[in-house]
Structure 1
Amino acid sequence: MNTYSDLRLNLFCQSLLQSVGMNKENSLVVADSLIKANLEGVDSHGISRLPIYAKRFGDNRINIKPNIQMTKKSSSVLMVDGDNGLGHVVSYQAILNGIEMAKQNGVTAIAVKNSNHFGTASYFCQLACEQNLACIVLTNSPPGIAPWGGKDAFFGTNPIAFGFPTGNDQPVIIDLSTSVVARGKIILAAKQGNHIPDGWALDRDGHPTNDAEEALKGSLLPLGGAKGSALALAVEILTGLLTGAAFGPNVKNIYDNEESGKANVGHFFILMDIEKFMNLNTFFESIINLLNEMKEVPKIPGIDEIRYPGERRKRDKERRLQEGIQLPPSVEEELIKLAGQYNVEFPIPIPPLKANSIVSN
Structure 2
Amino acid sequence: MGTYRESDLKRFCENVLKSVGMNQENSSVVADSLVKANLEGVDSHGISRLPIYVKRFNDQRMNVNPDIQMAEPTASVLLVDGDNGLGHVVSYHAILKGADMAKQSGLTAIAIKNSNHFGTASYFCQLACEQNLACIGFTNSPPGIAPWGGKNAFFGTNPIAFGFPTGNEQPVIIDLSTSIAARGKIILAAKQGNPIPDGWAMDEDGLPTNDAEAALRGSVLPLGGAKGSALALAVEIMTGVLSGAAFGPHVKNLYDEAETEQANVGHFFLLLDIEKFMHLSTFFESLEHLLTEMKEVPKAPGTNEIRYPGERRRRDRERRQLEGIVLSPSVEEELSKLGDFYNVRFPEPLSLEKI
TM-score of the superposed pair, with normalisation by structure 2: 1.00
Cα distance in 2 for residues equivalent to 1:331 and 1:143? 25
Q: Deviations over 1:114-172 (max 9, x none)?
A: 00000000000000000000010000000000000000000000000000000000000
CA distance in 2 between counterparts of 1:21 and 1:164 reads: 35
Q: Percent identity?
A: 76
Number of the residue aligned with 1:269 = 269
Whether 2:294 is the aligned partner of 1:285: answer no
Q: Distance in 1 between matches of 2:303 and 2:65?
A: 49
Whole-Å Cα distance in 1 between the matches of residues 237 and 116 of structure 2?
17
| 2:224 is aligned with 1:224 | yes
Q: Which amino acid aligns with 2:345?
A: E
CA distance, structure 1, for counterparts of residue 256 and residue 244 of structure 2: 23
Q: What pairs up with 1:94-113 in 2 under 5 angstroms? A: 94-113=94-113
In structure 1, the residue matched to 2:189 is: 189
| Letter paired with 2:155 | F
Alpha-carbon separation, structure 1, partners of 2:44 and 2:16: 19
Residue equivalent to 2:335: 335
1: CA distance, partners of 2:141 / 2:301: 38
Instruction: Tell me the residue number matched to 1:68.
Output: 68
Q: Helix, strand or coil: the match of 1:337?
A: helix
Shift of 1:63: 0.6
SS, match of residue 175 in structure 2: strand
Q: Which residue of 1 aligns with 2:44?
A: 44
Rounded to whole Å, the distance in 1 between the matches of 2:206 and 2:341 is 40
- Find the residue that maps to 1:37 and give its secondary structure: helix
Render the CA deviation track for 1:85-126: whole Å, top value 9, x for unaligned.
000000000000000000000000000000000000000000
Letter in 1 for 2:36: K
Deviations 1:231-253 (A, max 9, x none): 00000000000000000000000
Hey, what does 1:358 align to over in structure 2? none
**Matching residue of 1:209:** 209
Give the whole-Å Cα distance in 1 for the aligned partners of 2:9 and 2:78: 34
Q: Which moved more, 1:159-168 or 1:252-261?
A: 252-261
Letter in 1 for 2:169: D
* Structure 1 Cα separation of the partners of residues 339 and 73 of structure 2: 43
Deviation at residue 259 of structure 1 after TM alignment: 1.1
* Distance in 2 of aligned mates of 1:84 and 1:205: 34
Q: Which residue of 1 aligns with 2:140?
A: 140
Instruction: Tell me which stretches of 4 or more aligned residues in structure 1 moved more than 6 Å.
Output: none
Note the C-alpha offset of 1:352.
2.5
Cα distance in 2 between the residues matched to 1:136 and 1:336: 36
Show the 5 A alignment for 1:339-354.
339-354=339-354
What corresponds to 2:318 in structure 1? Answer: 318
Distance 1:60 1:227 in 2: 38
Q: What's the CA shift string for 1:293-324, capped at 9, x where partnerless?
A: 00000011000000000000000000000000
- Distance, in Å, in 2 between the alignment partners of 1:101 and 1:253 is 33
Alignment-mate amino acid for residue 192 of structure 1: Q
Report what 1:149 is aligned to. 149
Match of 1:31 in 2: 31
Residue equivalent to 1:12: 12
Alpha-carbon RMSD: 0.5
Instruction: Tell me which residue corresponds to 2:127.
Output: 127
Gaps of 5+ in 1: 356-361
What's the offset of the Cα at 1:354? 2.9
Q: 2-side partners of 1:259 and 1:232: how far apart?
A: 24
Partner Cα separation in structure 2 for residue 146 and residue 258 of structure 1: 22
- TM-score, normalised by the number of residues in structure 1: 0.98
Cα offsets for 1:40-92 (capped at 9, x unmatched) = 00000000000000000000001102100000010000000000000000000
- Consecutive unaligned residues in structure 2, runs of 5 or more: none
Secondary structure at the residue paired with 1:252? coil
Q: Distance in 2 between matches of 1:353 and 1:155?
A: 48
Give the counterpart letter for 1:48 in structure 2.
S
